[in-house]
Amino acid sequence: MSTKDLGFVHRFERGENGAPTLLLLHGTGGDETDLIPLARHVTDGATILSPRGKVSENGMPRFFRRFAEGQFDLEDVAVRADELADFVAAARESYGLPAPVAVGFSNGANIAAVTMLRRAGVLAGAALLRAQPVLVPKEPVDLAGMPVLILSGDRDPIVSDYDSAGLAAVLEAAGADIRHETVSAGHSLTQTDVDLLKGWLAGLSLV
């Protein structure tokens, strides 16, 4: 079902007992439905929580503002990450959910990473697809043992593998359990991405 409750327009679909809860975070121009087919393909019976970004860039939804490609409004980034963390907390209480695993693409992956670094207990893990460092924390962050998958493309014209490696280093320094894979791809996702994501999710042990 889609609803405007809890601060974000979002889609919520309750899954099967014992299946993970996924927080789906779309890329620029996407919406709350974009990543649902991917989620259904890579998991069996997952509960889905999928918000729509509240920032509009020329009519395209995003999760935070930017001035140009790769030039981010860092004040807005911080505010929007906190809003997303509050939404997740409200959704967990309203729907009776465990901490979700984020699956984010591009802009959605970036807001997931910032949210983890600002509000460490909000997520149980994250798959960051075509992500880059956006906001480096000024204070130490404890992400000890948090599973994080980072998938970058070796021909990505928007997010270089070097950028993704920089994000991996930031998260690893905070204690996260990082798996960073570079695939033969551009910015768009490929079947290799899908297969790696499916295998990583299957191997998670969430309590």
- Three-class SS of 114-168: HHHHHCCCCCCEEEEECCCCCCCCCCCCCCCCCEEEEEEECCCCCCCHHHHHHHH
Total number of residues shown for the chain: 207
106 catalytic per annotation: yes
68 forms beta bridges with 71
Catalytic residue among 156, 163, 164, 193: 156
82 catalytic per annotation: no
Catalytic residue among 10, 26, 106, 180: 106
72 forms beta bridges with 66
Among 129, 139, 146, 137, smallest CA distance to 186 is for: 129
Residues designated as active site: 106, 156, 187
